[in-house]
Chain A
């Protein structure tokens, strides 16, 4: 009697689990199917001349061009500089932003001195400053790096200050009560407390930095980079290359975001639910 009842319960649980697994497989299939379907549709339409293949070359053509450019090294001569500018300019900007943010978040005087100034500078479109940077530094790498630096600096600075302010006052107090002073206070209370905001800042900054570097490379100040590749391909009217540039810059942005998200899971085990 009791065994049959338990059997029935177990069967019901198993059925529920199978159903859940089936639904999850379906979601994954749908998530992959929709972009694939779109690509196939694009391919078919381009080949059947329903859309103008001069403007919308078939995906296979773009892929082929991409492979050729990778083989000839042309692709890397553009992807390399863009990635380097993002990593060096953006990375330094992020570090500076976090350091300044931590100091401003924990010093009332520093925040009073710099807060309003930074708040006024932040909404300035960074790309609009670029000509000034060019004027000062000439057509070198410096103004490009600086444009990305400024972009990530402001985003990280603002996010870090919010992160420090978002720390529960009880935790500041607990730190103080247990003798965390000076550097220890930064290391064990303020930095870890602000890190969730720092990571959300890094994600925002990555997207914005990709936009800024592309725009900077559009200008005549650059003869390398994916932005230059896209702009130059448009001017010479080689749409395949334009699309290759577009795809690669997209991949770079996605890869950077992925790395940031992975590091967040590794570095903030206490945020995992």
Chain B
């Protein structure tokens, strides 16, 4: 591969110390992400998915191992938007922190607000919006930074089923137009197959990458890929792979 990877982790591990117990959330993860690719991490809840993402984004420090990445921007769940800022100020926030002059960041923010179809709500506050609209703000905020790498932590996790499906198609359309490198954590297998080029299946704690799957469907994609037998096969394969770990994680909670 001639191009440098967008993300390279080498034998990355992270331990959390709480009193006498040490928990390895991530253990020995070595991955390369190709620039312009969309990768999803799926795994049992309470595994190290989010921790891995946060390590890549520099929100956590690695216990051992290294991370090399391009500059990144985060998409959190809908409550990650600032309730005290208007939609426009939220979207322009990253640019403002980067020191971009006001007129320029406003132009870029308004452009992204339009692309997520919130132009009528540019001066509204998040509490005046629906959950799906707040999530569009969070997505626009990340894209607006112009970062070559977007890290998404269950960005659609708080939405109801129908809104979620609509948002998946919207995210897909935005991404297919932009081709920014994306690393996304989700607990939804269907979402992972629909959106990504590659799926990393993580195990329960300690979180390791137990499978690395390429998603073969053509782009542009729509929800109708669900009807193909290949889809069903992939879905059940991932589920089988997750099942035991999910059971173990459930048991460990009790």
Residues on A facing B (Cβ under 8 Å):
168, 170-171, 173-180, 184, 188-189, 192-193, 195, 268-270, 273
The answer on a CB contact under 8 Å between A170 and B59 is: no
Q: In the assembled complex, how far is the CB of residue A95 from the closest CB belonging to chain B, in whole angstroms?
A: 20
> Contact mask B45-87 → A, CB, 8 Å, 1/0?
0000000000001010000000000000110110111111100
Return the contact of B127 from the options A174, A189, A273 (Cβ within 8 A): A273
Report whether over half of chain A's contact residues are helix, strand or loop; otherwise say mixed: helix
Cβ contacts under 8 Å, B125 to chain A: 269-270
Given contacts A170-B77, A175-B82, 19 further A-B pairs with CB under 8 A are A170-B80, A171-B79, A171-B82, A171-B83, A173-B59, A173-B80, A174-B74, A174-B76, A174-B82, A177-B74, A178-B145, A179-B98, A180-B93, A192-B84, A192-B85, A268-B84, A269-B125, A270-B84, A270-B85
Bound-state Cα–Cα, A178 to B91, Å = 11
Tell me how far the C-beta of A87 lies from the nearest C-beta in chain B, rounded to whole angstroms: 27
Which residue of chain B is the closest to A180 with respect to CB atoms? B97
- Residue of B with least CB distance to A174: B80
Query: Do residues A178 and B84 form an inter-chain contact, with CB atoms below 8 A?
Result: no
Shortest CB-to-CB span from A171 to chain B, Å, is: 6
* A–B Cβ pairs within 8 angstroms, 18 of them: A170-B76, A170-B80, A171-B83, A173-B59, A173-B74, A173-B80, A174-B81, A177-B59, A177-B73, A177-B74, A178-B97, A178-B141, A179-B94, A179-B98, A180-B97, A184-B97, A192-B84, A269-B125
- Measured in the bound complex, the distance between the Cα atoms of B94 and A203 in whole Å is 34
B193 to chain A, nearest CB (A): 27
Contacts of B93 in A (CB 8 A): 178, 180, 188
The answer to whether B79 and A178 touch across the interface, beta carbons within 8 angstroms, is: no
Contact A170 B79 (CB under 8 A): yes
Report yes or no: B57 in contact with A177, Cβ–Cβ below 8 A: yes
Kindly list chain B residues whose C-beta atoms are within 8 Å of the C-beta of A170.
76-77, 79-80
Q: In the assembled complex, which residues on chain B have CB atoms less than 8 Å from the CB atom of A270?
A: 83-85, 125-127
In the complex with contacts A178-B145, A270-B126, A173-B76 CB distance below 8 A: yes
Chain A residues near B77: list those with CB within 8 A: 170
**Partner among B83, B94, B126 whose Cβ is within 8 Å of the Cβ of A178:** B94
User: With the chains together, A192 CA to B77 CA distance in Å?
Assistant: 20
Measured CA separation A263–B127 after assembly (Å): 20
Beta-carbon nearest neighbor of B151 in chain A: A177
Complex alpha-carbon distance, A64 and B77, angstroms: 63
- Which of B77, B84, B126, B145 has the most chain A CB atoms inside 10 A of its CB? B84
